[in-house]
Amino acid sequence: MKKEMEISREIDISTDLGGIKLNNPVCAASGTFGYGREYEPYVDISKIGAVIVKGTTLEPRAGNPPPRIIETASGMLNAIGLENPGINEFLNTHLPYLRENNVTVIANIAGNTIEEYAAIAEMIEGNPGVAGIELNISCPNVKQGGLQFGTDPQMVYEVVKAVKEKTTLPVMPKLSPNVTDIVEIARASEAGGADALSMINTLMGMAVDINTRKPFLANIFGGLSGPAIKPVALRMIYQVYREVKLPILGGGGIVNYRDALEFLMVGATAISVGTGIFINPQLTEEIVSNLLHYMQENNVASLSELVGAAHQA
């Protein structure tokens, strides 16, 4: 008993996500944790692995008209439309707050063109308090007629490369699952110089209001998140882990530590929770403590014993 308690103190779950140092592997996913403030009453935000802030664009965006969200079976659809105050406001208002509160911050950035991505990265450069950049490449590329960056390997390569040229921070593209071959996209990211991969963003879906006989969301389509998508997320991470050597931030439907373990075992170095936070704002904390408990009970000395474990024959 005494021995176990000692071990517990010694278990180190800090981790390195392609140069992004995390005290623990459990992060808050972009768009689900605002800029950290909103959840301050519920959780010590400085203890979260990293807070990945709301997707931020060059200019402020008003977002989509409502309804923006609707619940589905074990999931939800969202079509927020990247409402955000723009990169300046983020750097001037939100980042200082997060820095003061000792939060590990990953900036999530989005653009309509490669130049926009690069410009935002350049503006972030030099601002203390940002540990890394997550590239939301699931937005439509206006120059290419709305085709999403994240579905074309060539565009993925170019966006990553352009951003890498403008920043010294670790860069982590967030892959869209709405593709035929996720490995191809991961390889393109690697070729572009990505330091890590974030997987997965939401699946594109929709719902119909049978009373009005219209699409439920004003935007028609929305991103599906929550437990419903976990099997797809696990599969994609498993596939990519075998073929690409970059560390992976895994997420999609995690609502408890057992889910988190599945993600580690298929190959995620760290995990992110999104929708789960809406239900339980203390989820990040809870997963960390259950993870420690699990490791202790099962004599797992380090996270690396778990990462990719499901690939062993």
Partner 1 sequence: MPGMQQGLVISHNQVNRDMFELEFIAPEIAEECQPGQFIHIKPGLRDQPLLRRPLSIYDVDKRLGSVTLLYKVVGTGTRLLTSVRTKEYVDVMGPLGRGFKLPDQPERILLVGGGVGIAPLVYLARVLEEQGCDITVLHGTESRRQLVAFEKLRQIGTDFFPATMDGTAGYKGLVTELLLKKIEPKKLDRIYTCGPEPMMAVVAEFAANHNIEAEVSLEEYMACGVGACLGCARKLKTNDTQYVKVCKDGPVFNIKEVELYK
Chain residues in the site for partner 1 (CB under 8 A): 31-34, 38-39, 41-42, 54, 62-71, 73-76, 78, 80, 83, 226-227, 255, 275, 277-282
Pairing of strands 203-206, 221-225: antiparallel
Q: Which residue is nearest to ligand FMN (CB)?
A: 31
143 or 242, CB closer to a second copy?
Answer: 242
62 or 210, CB closer to a second copy?
Answer: 210
Question: Site residues (CB under 8 A) for a second copy?
Answer: 72-75, 77, 151, 178-181, 203-208, 210, 213-215, 220-222, 224, 226-232, 234-235, 238, 253, 258, 261-262, 265-266, 306, 309-310, 312
Q: Which does 204 bind (CB under 5 to 8 A by kind): partner 1, ligand FMN, a second copy, none?
A: a second copy
Q: Is 281 in the site for ligand FMN (CB under 6 A)?
A: no
Q: Which does 25 bind (CB under 5 to 8 A by kind): partner 1, a second copy, ligand FMN, none?
A: none
Residue 111, C-beta contacts closer than 8 angstroms, at least 6 positions apart:
57, 58, 117, 119, 120, 139
CB of 297 to a second copy, least distance (A): 12
Q: Which does 62 bind (CB under 5 to 8 A by kind): ligand FMN, partner 1, a second copy, none?
A: partner 1
User: In whole angstroms, what is the distance from residue 308 CA to residue 241 CA?
Assistant: 8
User: In whole angstroms, what is the distance from residue 69 CA to residue 278 CA?
Assistant: 13
For 61-81, give one letter per residue: b (16+ CB within 10 A) or e: beebeebbebebeebbbbbbb
Contact 139, 153 (CB under 8 A): no
User: In whole angstroms, what is the distance from residue 275 CA to residue 256 CA?
Assistant: 12
* DSSP H helical ranges for 135-256: 153-166, 182-192, 230-243
Residue numbers annotated as active site = 139
| The two structure tokens encoding residue 146 | 């709305």
User: In whole angstroms, what is the distance from residue 263 CA to residue 74 CA?
Assistant: 18
Q: Which residues bind ligand FMN (CB under 6 A)?
A: 29-32, 54-55, 78, 80, 82, 108, 136, 174, 201-202, 225-226, 229, 251-254, 273-276
